Structure 1
Amino acid sequence: MADGSRPNADLDAAIAEAEARYSAANPKSKARATSAAQVMPGGNTRTVLHYTPFPLAWGHGKANRLTDLDGHEYLDFLGEYTAGLYGHSDPVIQGAIGKALGDGIVLGGPNRYEAQLAEAICKRIPSIELVRFCNSGTEANLFAIQTARIMTGRDKIMVFEFAYHGGVFYFGSHGNPLNLPLNWVKGRYNETEYTKDLIAQHGAELAAVLVEPMQGSAGCLPADPAFLKMLREECTRRGIVLIFDEVMTSRLSPGGCQALVGVKPDMTTLGKYLGGGLSFGAFGGRRDLMERYDPYRPDSIGHAGTFNNNVCSMAGGVAGLTQVFTPEEATRLNALGDQMRDRLNAVARRHAAPLQVTGVGSLMNLHFVKGPVRTPAEAHPSDPALENRMGELLKLFHLDMIAAGIYLARRGFVALSLPMREPDVARFEAALDEFLATRGALVKSALG
């Protein structure tokens, strides 16, 4: 094209118009952001919830609907980054948590719920023979890593580029200064031969390989079966603990993503929805690894945490896993997600748009890219200018979807909740169709 700056100028103008419309429509959210910034840096205490010009602030939620401070209602396709699996008002879970509150909180000892939740998890997740609770997925991954280091006597931990395993375990392109200074070895997700060679190089020093069976934060990138099979074989051969981070992915089948892919890790970490919507984390696995936490043993590993067995998360978790997120409901919701992803990709093909929707079951991510997306390198190109334009397209899409009454993550991430039904999917599909009909030429020109 003759004027290479023109697409960028058009995109910038479209975003400026969308942001002005957004600001005018949401004065109370804007005022909240301004006020909050007086006592919190940027008015924020959870970075992923921030987006420009300011984030919507919520007044209340019901089922799969959210209402912001200005009274606008949205279909919630973010699902609290997978933690909101049950929606915002499931009566079974609300009743269980209400009873737990009524019976007294912070009891300072074992309660009636924790063993019930442990039993339900052990029955559902193939790799978990014994389990312990904590307060977040971040903690779960920390404890699993330390378990592997203690039990193997080794120091190095293999993770994968662009992986996210919690607030102190983020391995994106720019890293994270908050990451714990462990002895990391970085593999490349879905690059089987490269990673196999790297394991061979460091194998005698590797305590664990920590991997998501679908990379979530990187853009809902499913693992190739051959990649996971190689990890399992190499870890078995070399005495390395294979840890599946299923904090996000345990919802993808009745037995988690590991049951879906047919690969059994040595340990599994959990979090998100399994506390019934309250703070929760868990780590578990092979009996011989987890038995070291038995306090009756003279060589037991101490594992503290004031709220590890808090009654509200335990009660909500039991009710959710045994009465609400049944195997049948897990199958239904993930089938709906597979159908939605297929329908969105069909919309993109119909418009000949450079848009790909990746994921598994009820989790998916939209990517403004021309070709298929299988690896993080394909989702996050090394060309800074191209990556910036992709990010700007997601910003415009996010603002337009909000204007259409649909809420999702700025990065294009979508997580379905159990209240979702086909008409909700159809509404998202129609909004995407409208976006591509209106903005399609701009999208194509921005990506060259």
Structure 2
Amino acid sequence: MTLESALKAAREAYAERNPNSKAAYDTAVQVLPGGGTRTTLACEPFPIYIASGKGGEMTDVDGHVYKDFLSDFTSGIYGKSHPALQAAISKALTTGVQFGGHTTSEARFAAGLVARFPSMELVRFCNSGTEANLNAIGAALKHTKRKKVVVFEGAYHGSLLCRFSQNEPEDVPGVLRAPYVSEVSLSVKALLDPITTEIGAILVEPMLGAGGAVPGDPVFLEGLRELATRIGAVLIFDEVQTSRLSPGGRQALLGITPDMTTVGKYFGGGFAFGAFGGKREIMDMFDVRRPNPVSHGGTFNNSALTMVAGATALEQILTPEALSNLNALGDTMRDMLNSGFQTSGAPFKVTGLGSVNQIHCTLANELRNSAHDLLFFGLLERGYWTAQRGTLALNFQNTSEDVEEFVAAVVDAAQAVTVAANGN
């Protein structure tokens, strides 16, 4: 059996097990292009449709139960039904929603973020990591009175900025793509030195998230800090994913303070959320008490439910101890998976930090997608929810026992890939 024939058989078995998801998909494609509004969830021959979730598990419309090891691509850190969030949100619902005015939870939530991130002397809220990065870029360019932005190969800073990770820089005027390397190398300097007076912002993920859970080398990130200071640019850390690595994100672990920071995903307590903050001298541009302030609107920027959920999460759930334990569990899982792959000879390896990791296939390029798909279907059949591309993210409902069982399932599923790849 070849890899392609094994994948064909896996897809056929998947389709047979999930008739209700197929029916839901057939309905969806009548009104949604491709059947959905989130490309990352696309799946051939059709995606799974979820009926409910509780704790660390989800049940699909065909009644299959999955243990969640994707955590909505890092945003579902609390699991599906955290009691503290349920209680806070239920109470907030009784007082009303959509006020079109401020509530005290807004400043309460902001104070919690500012306390955790010294790089955020002041903060503003928005509705996603995409918005946070767009606003941070805009603020940086306004502050420096410059027009060029530096980003890095493999980075993902939101759906409106996805071209940054493609070979189409001409489609995003003013954007320069530099190598994501182990240090601020000659290649980076050669690209930037001739135009340093034009660069207003340097935007970087301390670890590539969607780009494969590739940690940025500390020397590289420190070099960017020095470079930004030297040329007068604003250094922005996109910690939308890496903020879960410690109460103050990866910047706190490394002792590097950027000029601005963006966050999102899980900080909203399960609701759509983003935030950008930075030095007072930058963020003061948004102060309406000043002459000619920068306008920043958004109907849901201070949504009453999001503010309550976010503040509750910071105060009661995202404690230093809880995050430390979760990330230690993720480190253990990564080591166990890599050990299992090495021992079994499976063509995979895992990279990442703490609770955010990525499975990579080590086969030749033309075989990698098929290998990832076959592993994905194998894990679904074994009752585990992951991403086709190999993304893994733990949540607070995952236990050490869950991780041990998951590792065994992954190594077992990977064996099927090994057999097929070898043509056995």
TM-score (norm 1): 0.91
**Does structure 1 residue 368 correspond to structure 2 residue 346?**
no
Secondary structure, counterpart of 1:113 in structure 2: helix
RMSD over aligned CA atoms reads: 1.7
1:161-180 pair list within 5 angstroms: 161-171=153-163, 174=166
Give the Cα separation in 1 of the matches to 2:50 and 2:413: 25
Aligned to 1:310: 303
Match of 1:423 among 389, 395, 401: 401
Aligned partners of 1:91, 1:282: CA distance in 2, in Å?
A: 25
- Mapped to 1, the partners of 2:310 and 2:412 lie a distance apart of 39
Q: Which residue of 1 aligns with 2:194?
A: 201
Conserved in 2, the CA contact under 8 Å of 1:130 and 1:284? yes
Equivalent positions of 1:38-53 (< 5 A) are 38-53=30-45
Residues 349-388 of structure 1: pairs in structure 2 closer than 5 A: 349-369=342-362, 386-388=364-366
- Of residues 370, 387, 402, the one that matches 1:392 is 370
What SS does the corresponding residue of 2:222 show, helix, strand or coil?
helix
**Helix, strand or coil: the match of 1:190?**
coil
**Runs of at least 5 residues in structure 2 that lack an aligned partner in the other structure:** none
3-state SS of paired residue (1:169): helix
Cα deviation, 1:201-224, whole Å, max 9, x if unaligned, reads: 321111101000000001100000
Does structure 1 retain, via aligned residues, the 8 Å contact 2:120–2:278?
yes
Q: Which residue of 1 aligns with 2:180?
A: 189
| Paired residue total | 422
**1:441 correspondence with 2:416:** no
Once the two structures are overlaid, the 10-residue window that deviates more, 352-361 or 302-311, is 352-361
The 2-side partners of 1:336 and 1:234 are apart by: 35
After superposition, give the CA deviation of every residue in 1:277-312 in whole Å (9 maximum; x if it has no partner): 101000001111111111000131110001100011
1:360-384 Cα shifts (integer Å, max 9, x gaps): 00000000116xxxxxxxxxxxxxx
Distance 1:444 1:219 in 2: 25
Q: Distance in 1 between matches of 2:195 and 2:420?
A: 47
Is 1:196–1:230's contact at 8 Å kept on the other side of the alignment? no
Q: 1:55 aligns to what?
A: 47
Contact 1:333 1:416 in 2 (8 A): yes
- How many Å apart are 1:180 and its aligned residue? 7.3
Q: Following TM superposition, by how much is the alpha carbon of 1:175 offset from its aligned partner in structure 2, in angstroms?
A: 5.4
Q: Tell me, what secondary structure is at the counterpart of 1:31?
A: helix
Which of 255, 272, 277 is the aligned partner of 1:262?
255
CA deviations on 1:45-84 (whole Å, 9 max, x unpaired) are: 1111111111111000011100000111000111011110
Q: CA deviation at 1:273?
A: 0.2
Matches within 5 A, 1:12-411: 12-171=4-163, 174=166, 181-192=172-183, 193=185, 194-369=187-362, 386-411=364-389
Rounded to whole Å, the distance in 1 between the matches of 2:349 and 2:193 is: 34
Whether contact under 8 Å (1:353, 1:436) holds in the other structure is yes
Q: For residue 442 of structure 1, report the CA deviation from its aligned partner.
A: 2.9
Alignment partners' CA distance in 2, 1:21 and 1:425: 26
Identity across the alignment (%): 45
Is residue 163–residue 171 contact of structure 1 (8 Å, CA) maintained in 2?
no
Contact 1:126 1:258 (C-alpha < 8 Å) held by counterparts: no
SS, match of residue 168 in structure 1: helix
* 8 Å contact kept, 1:159–1:187: yes
Distance 2:110 2:242 in 1: 18
- How far the C-alpha of 1:174 sits from its partner, in A, is 4.4
Residue type at the aligned position of 2:101:
G
User: In the aligned structure 2, how far is the partner of 1:318 from the partner of 1:77?
Assistant: 25
SS in 2 for 1:304: coil
List, as ranges, runs of 4+ consecutive aligned residues in structure 1 with deviation greater than 6 Å: none
* Contact 1:137-1:280 within 8 A present in 2 as well: yes
Q: Is the 8 A contact 1:354 1:444 kept in 2?
A: no
CA distance in 2, matches of 1:399, 1:172: 30
Whether contact under 8 Å (2:272, 2:306) holds in the other structure is: yes
Where do 5+ consecutive residues of structure 1 fail to align?
1-8, 371-385
Provide the secondary structure at the position in 2 that maps to 1:284.
strand
